[in-house]
Amino acid sequence: MHDGDSDWKLSLPCAVILCAILATSQFMLHTRTLIMAHLGKFNRLKVLKSTDFGVYLDAENLGEILLPRKECPRRCNPGDTLTVFIYRDSEDRLIATTTRPLATVGQFACLKVVNVGKVGAFLDWGLPKDLLVPFREQKTAMVAGTSYVVYVYLDQISNRISASSQLSKFLRNDTQRYRFKQEVDLLIAHHSELGYNAIVDSQCWGLIHRSDAFLDLQIGQSRKGYIKKVRADGKLDLYLQQPGGGNRMALADTLLDALRSADGFIAVHDRSPPSVIYDRFKMSKKAFKQAIGSLYKKKLITIADDGIRLK
């Protein structure tokens, strides 16, 4: 019995040490996974060594990557950590840069075609090497000098950063989380006979009907929008302004404040062009007419051929 107790006491420290080693190994493995570098994105990497032509960074799974001297901070020493973007240079080598491109992998952006070559179109994305859109990834044939909304992705076969104008395959139809009047981020992608197609929250398609598009929207324009309706086909109908009676009251107050600041008269009326109304009041013509109608019924304003007056 005494010998058994002695064996148990001797084995306890060993078990504790073994558990500590296993826990440390798991932590180190987890840490290395967390700091795995990603091509086409920004990464926090440690400086390994400095040379005359730049510094080499520890990109973990991608190996050592050069940050050219002209891109290095004034004081940059081994052991420092830098935030860099990783891409491939003109010789197809992995390289780091502190320059921020116009889009990174997983993002939508409106980029301009600078050249069309044998393998596809090349876009200016703010880096020395242009971004390729292969012919197979072009929804319509791209033309030099024209800008297109594209999705930036990492090609799993070639392991190169590329772009595509076939946007639908990078979007989902999961729109059930959206609700009427909900505010969303929009990227105007293209226009059609119905209105303007917009990418909503970088997730799904939405449509601004022509009757609701009181502005001359530009392709590639980013702005806020609001959910008008969740459609059965998985797409969304959109407003450019928040709908509802509370919003009309706020717009009416905006008009009153504007009239008071303009000595009681503004040369804008219900027949003014939508662009003039938006430039002056940041509201649609429909909302403007509703607001002045509300003020007129309350006998707060008069409406004349040359504008609106505060009573």
Is there a domain that residue 21 lies in? Answer: no
List residues bridging with 51 in a β-sheet: 54
Cβ atoms of residues 147 and 105 within 8 Å: no
pTM, two decimal places: 0.73
Q: Which of 152, 169, 186 is the last residue of a domain?
A: 169
CB 203 within 8 A of CB 174: yes
Q: Domain boundary residue among 221, 239, 257?
A: 239
pLDDT band at 28 (very low <50, low <70, confident <90, very high): very low
What pLDDT does 248 receive?
63
> What is the structure's pLDDT at 277?
83
| Residue 248: CB atoms within 10 Å | 16
Does residue 229 lie within any of the structural domains?
yes
Q: Are residues 162 and 189 in the same domain?
A: no
**Whether residue 291 is found in the same domain as residue 235:** no
Q: How confident is the model at residue 283 (pLDDT cuts 50, 70, 90)?
A: confident
CATH of the domain at 282: 1.10.10.10
Residues 178 and 196 in one domain: yes
Coil, helix or strand at residue 14: helix
Going along the chain, which residue ranges are E strands?
42-51, 54-58, 64-68, 81-88, 94-97, 108-116, 120-124, 131-134, 147-154, 161-164, 183-191, 195-200, 204-209, 222-230, 236-239, 265-266, 301-304, 307-310
Residue 306 sits in the same domain as residue 250: yes
Which range marks the domain in which residue 304 is found?
245-310
Whether the pLDDT of residue 278 is over 50: the answer is: yes
Residue 102, pLDDT score:
97
135-146, pLDDT tens digit by residue?
Answer: 999 999 999 999
**261 in any annotated domain:** yes
Residue 42: phi, psi to the nearest 5?
Answer: -80, 145
Residues contacting residue 237 through CB under 8 Å, at least 6 positions apart: 206, 207, 209, 227, 228, 229, 231
Reply yes or no on whether the pLDDT at 73 is more than 70. Answer: yes
Residue 10: pLDDT above 50? Answer: no
Q: Is the residue at 33 inside a domain? A: no
* Residue listed under structure tokens 């500590």: 20
Average pLDDT, the chain: 86
Task: Determine the average pLDDT of the residues in 59-81.
Answer: 93
User: Could you tell me the pLDDT band of residue 242, with boundaries at 50, 70 and 90?
Assistant: confident
Do 225 and 183 meet the contact criterion of CB atoms below 8 Å apart? yes
Inside any domain, residue 65: yes
Query: Is residue 304's pLDDT more than 70?
Result: yes
Residue 183 lies in a domain: yes
Residue 33 has pLDDT above 60, yes or no: no
* CATH of residue 183: 2.40.50.140
**What mean pLDDT is predicted for residues 253-279?**
85
For residue 76, the tally of other CB atoms under 10 A from its CB is 15
96, pLDDT greater than 90: yes
Q: For residue 210, tell me if it sits in a domain.
A: yes
pLDDT of residue 310 exceeding 70, the answer is: yes
pLDDT greater than 90 at residue 214: no
What local confidence, expressed as pLDDT, does residue 200 receive? Answer: 97
Residue 235 has a pLDDT of 86
Look at residue 247 and tell me whether its pLDDT is greater than 50.
yes
* Overall average pLDDT of the 198-220 stretch: 89
Calpha distance 239→209 (Å, rounded): 8
8 A C-beta contact, residue 207 and residue 240? no
Domain end position, chosen among 122, 143, 169: 169
**Poorest-pLDDT segment among 5-14, 36-45, 56-65, 163-172:** 5-14
Could you give the maximum distance between any two Cα atoms of the chain, in Å? 110
31 part of a folded domain: no
Query: Residue 231 to residues 154, 170, 171, 182, 213: CA-CA distances in angstroms?
Result: 32, 19, 16, 15, 19
CA dist 137 and 124 (Å) reads 17
Domain count, the chain: 4
- Three-state SS at 129: coil
User: Hey, which residues does 115 pair with through a beta bridge?
Assistant: 122
